[in-house]
Every structure is written in C-alpha cells, then in structure tokens.
Amino acid sequence: MLRGLKRLPAEITAIVTVADDGGSSGRLRNDMQMPPPGDLRNVLVALADTEPLLEKVLQYRFQNGNGLAGHNLGNLIIAALKDITGDFNHAIQEMSRVLAVRGRVLPSTGQDVTLKAEMADGSLVEGESRIPKSGRKIRRVFLDPPEARPVDEALEAIEKADGIVVGPGSLYTSILPNLLVQGMVDAIRASKAKKIYICNVMTQAGETDGYTAADHVAAIHRHVGKSLFDVVIVNDELPPISIQRRYAEEGASPVLPDVGRIREFGCEVLAANLIQTRDVLRHDASFLSRCIIRLIRKP
C-alpha cells in the first residue's frame, strides 16, 4: 500500500507497531534493550527512494556466522544508529533521511511493550511471535504495560490528517497492537479525517481462521469500541484456484466480503478486485492507493 501511496501527491506518516519479539528484531530487543526494528525497517524500505540493490542489501538476512546468522542487515543498521544517536526514534528519522524516505515513519510508542493474548480456553500466551503458533482461538489481545502511550508526533499526525488508513496486516499481531496503545483510538475518534479500514485478502493461520471481512471489523470493535471507521475496503474477487490450493496448504483461505453485515456496523463499503497475483497474493498497490486518495477527497 505504501509503495503505491508514495507515488501519489500525498504527505504520508506511517505509524508502526513495536510489539514484535521474534527473529532478528526479538534478539536485538533483548540484547540491546531497544524497540524491535523489523516492522519499521519494512516500512522504511517501502517508502524509500532507493535503488533495487540497496533494497536487497537492507532486507538481507545473514545465513551463516556465530551471532550473525538470522540477523537482518537493515535491523543492525537501525541498532547502530540507535547507539550513535542515543535515541531509537532519532535513529529512525536518520535512517529515513539516508534512504530519502517519502514521508515520515514513527513507532506507535516509544515504550517497551509486550503483546499478550487471552485464548478462547482461558489460557494466556505471551509474545507476538508465539500467539499465532499457539493452536488456540484468540479471544482478545492486550499490551503490557497497558498504559503505554503514543509518541507525540503520532498524535500530532493523526490530528492534522485528512485520512487515517488502518491495515492491511495481521489483525491481532500488527493492527490491534497499534490501536491498543493508550490514547491512540481517542485521537483517531477526535480527528476530522476520513477513517478507512483495509481488510486482508486472505485469512491468517492461527489468527483469523475462517474470518469474513465483517469478522475482522467486529474483532476491532470488541477491542476498542464501535464506529471507528467511516469506510471499509474489501476484496470481492476470488484468486485463481491454483493459488487458493497453495494457500490452503498453509491454512489460509480467501476473506469473504460479507458487505451487508459490514454496513450494519454503520460503515460505507468499497468492494472491488484488489488482488495482484504473482508468486504470492498481494493488494494491488497502485489501484488501492488511488482508491484511498479518492475516498479521502470525497466530501
């Protein structure tokens, strides 16, 4: 989505979750007492004006070497900048400058937060990376500490925005962690911006098995209250059968667009063919970004 938006006349501020605890990000978080950089790195790369080779370098993951294996080079650069500047947020801004990022990239909170989940059987699972692997249905997720506050720049961006776009992304482990930061939803509700939710094209094993588009919206409502979005964007085109079969092997299936039920939540619905089929299914970034701009400009 961001790759598409950066090509259009829009001032972009991306607010990114910092609840990751797995892989290279989790190791840096534990070893260097810093927020996990992985999701922020991906957004920086998406918004950067970079040569293809530089993007490959930033996304490169070491396969060998004691201590290096599994680490992502972009993550290590952010960690180095954090040490040099003495501040994680400052490190992200310096990385943005080096990469000529078209917009701003901000962590949702500057505090160290852990994502936890209460499962349907009453058990608790701790850690963003462990929640989808638990094999149990998620009842709710929450942050520890619950009083984590947004960075000031994020609140200012929300206040000044013409449009606020949530998603696409992992419902329980990427989208909700941002919305659960204390004061974030209050700022969104207070904003005069057009509020748009973009639903995923496919379900995610361990998180949204069997979910329809309305189920995604309902889960957000259960966590933060109703009437958060003005518009919900959903895909209404099934991918090719061969792609569906491949995804089914991973426990994923198309998210069905139950438009009528979404409208019962008081949301306008934009339903269209949003998929771009290559080796993996993705939203068509160019088409989706144009839809977003049209909705924001619409009275």
160 and 296 co-located in one domain: yes
- Average pLDDT (103-115) is 94
Is residue 128 situated within a structural domain? Answer: no
Residues 158 and 169 in one domain: yes
13 and 97 share one domain: no
Confidence grade of residue 67 (pLDDT, cut at 50, 70, 90): confident
- Which domain-ending residue is among 52, 80, 107? 107
Strands (E), the chain: 13-16, 104-107, 114-119, 124-126, 138-144, 163-166, 194-198, 231-235, 268-272, 275-277, 281-283
Query: Is 261 found in the same domain as 161?
Result: yes
Q: How far apart are CA 190 and CA 259, in angstroms?
A: 26
**Nearest residue to 257 (alpha-carbon basis) of 244, 272, 246, 268:** 272
Does residue 114 lie in a domain region? no
User: Does the pLDDT of residue 277 top 90, yes or no?
Assistant: no
Report the pLDDT value the prediction gives residue 280, as an integer from 0 to 100: 83
- Domain assignment of residue 120, yes or no: no
Q: What is the CATH number of the domain that holds 179?
A: 3.40.50.10680
> Cα(233)–Cα(58) distance, rounded to whole angstroms?
31
> Over 90: is that where the pLDDT of 85 sits?
yes
How many folded domains does the chain comprise?
2
Mean per-residue pLDDT for 226-232? 97
Predicted TM-score (pTM) of this structure: 0.94
26 lies in the same domain as 81? yes
Q: Are residues 217 and 200 in the same domain?
A: yes
Assess contact for 145 and 180: CB atoms under 8 A.
no
Q: Could you say which of 107, 124, 139 is where a domain stops? A: 107
Q: For 143-196, what is each residue's pLDDT tens digit?
A: 999 999 999 999 999 999 999 999 999 999 999 999 999 999 999 999 999 999
What mean pLDDT do residues 203-221 have? 98
Asked whether residue 220 carries a pLDDT value surpassing 80, the answer given is yes
- Per-residue pLDDT of 131-154, as tens digits, reads 999 999 999 999 999 999 999 999
Res 279 pLDDT > 80: no
Q: Determine the pLDDT at residue 33.
A: 87
Q: How does pLDDT run across 11-24, given as a tens digit for each residue?
A: 999 999 999 988 88
Q: Alpha-carbon distance 9 to 293, whole Å?
A: 9
Structural domain including 36 reads 18-107
